[in-house]
Amino acid sequence: MFDVLLRMAALIALGAAWRIVRPGGLDGDTLRGAIATLVYYLLLPALVLQILWSTPLGLDSIRIALTAVVVVIAGWALGLFAARRLHLTRARTGALLLAAAFPNATYMGLPALDAALGPVGAGIAIQFDYFACTPILLTFGVVMAQRYGSGGDTVPAWLRLARVPPFWAALTGVALNAQGVGLPDALGGLLDTLGGAVVPLMLLALGMSLSWQALDRGTAWAIVPVLAIQLAIQPLIALLLADAIGLKGDYRTGAILEAAMPSMVLGIVLCDRYGLDSRYYSLIVTISTAFSLTTLPMWLYLLTGH
């Protein structure tokens, strides 16, 4: 996994360098938005559909989703405790809660698990995210962002979910899988081609979203609790829960590694939309992503011995 993390780090670094160099005069935020739109509406749905259509689903899928739910709730509760002890502003509290609760389950979790565990790892990442994290984020998470922020919309939760193409791809893939419908070779080839572009583009976009602008002494101390929650406490909770509910083998390893991912990138969009502290959130993503390149191999070694 170390070699894979080096390649991932290189792609993230290239994305970060783009923000500085701006080849062709194209700034990183503009390109990141274009890449994110392409991945979100076309490439990621293709990958999700392919994986969930062809991945065996059963009780372990429920266990993975349950693990994700508990991890998110625990992260939120611990984040709220930390924010109150630090006496943060409401805007910064909302950003901390999003960062502490929701791991980067797809944008970083998917390539990491695919490298560590193969196709089964990619399936675990998709199930962890779209069976639990994304539905929670677009319902409870948005409500909480509105509560701590100063803007946003009043779109019903069901309509927000209806506007998420990968979520519909997940439902379609699960339905076809459950009905025993085989994936046609021609369609499978097309989905594989489209899905193959997801990982490098996501990592480049992740690099373009990283920022150190908000770093100062006070902000740095306010990030420490999030690092502890995301990179140490949540995976430990996932480990204890996985053993309690009977997750075994690669499913156990994958669910725990997902819980060990850094803070999600999508939270930056929510911070912007709902008036939370976006610069603080971006800094959390930057630092947690950097630290995760060290902590993820440690968790993998702890879980598998290699």
Structure tokens at 220: 């740095």
Of 7, 232, 249, nearest to 108 by C-alpha is 7
pLDDT of res. 196 = 86
Q: What is the mean pLDDT of each run of 10 residues along the chain (306 residues)?
A: 76 88 86 87 91 90 96 97 93 95 90 87 93 91 88 69 85 92 93 88 82 67 92 97 95 97 87 86 88 93 86
Predicted local confidence at residue 292, as pLDDT? 93
Query: What is the residue type of 95?
Result: A
pTM confidence score = 0.86
Q: Which pair of structure tokens corresponds to residue 149?
A: 């922020």
Query: How high is the pLDDT of residue 215?
Result: 65
Q: How many CA atoms lie within 13 A of 26 on its CB side?
A: 11
* Res 217: pLDDT: 63
8-state DSSP, 24: G
Angstrom distance (rounded) from CA 115 to CA 266: 22
pLDDT at 248: 94
Distance in angstroms (rounded) separating the CA atoms of residues 156 and 255? 30
pLDDT of 190 reads 95
Amino acid at 115: A
Which residues, 6 or more positions from 40, have their beta carbon under 8 angstroms from its beta carbon?
165, 166
> 230 and 288 in contact (C-beta within 8 Å)?
yes
pLDDT for residue 2 = 66
Neighbour tally for 155: CB within 10 Å: 12
Give, in order, the Cα–Cα distances in Å from 175 to each of 42, 53, 133, 180: 20, 8, 20, 9
Partner residues linked to 103 by β-bridges: 263
Distances from the Cα of 10 to the Cαs of 28, 195, 200, in angstroms? 16, 20, 10
Q: Domains of the chain: which residue ranges? A: 2-20+28-304
CB-CB neighbours of 45 under 10 Å: 24
| Architecture per CATH, 2-20+28-304 | Up-down Bundle (1.20)
What whole-number distance in Å separates Cα of residue 176 and Cα of residue 182? Answer: 8
pLDDT given at position 187: 94
Q: What is the pLDDT of residue 200?
A: 87
Rg (CA), the chain: 18
Angle among Cα 82, 86, 89 to the nearest 5 degrees reads 105
Structure tokens at 72: 């998110």
Per-residue model confidence (pLDDT) at position 157: 66
CA proximity to 6, closest of 111, 84, 101: 111
pLDDT at 216: 65
What's the distance, CA 225 to chain centroid?
19
88 neighbors 148 (Cβ within 8 angstroms): no
186 residue type, one letter: A
Rounded to whole angstroms, the Cα distance separating 144 from 161 reads: 16
Tokens 């994305």 sit at which residue?
Answer: 15
For residue 153, the model assigns a pLDDT of 65
Q: Tokens 């062809």 label which residue?
A: 54
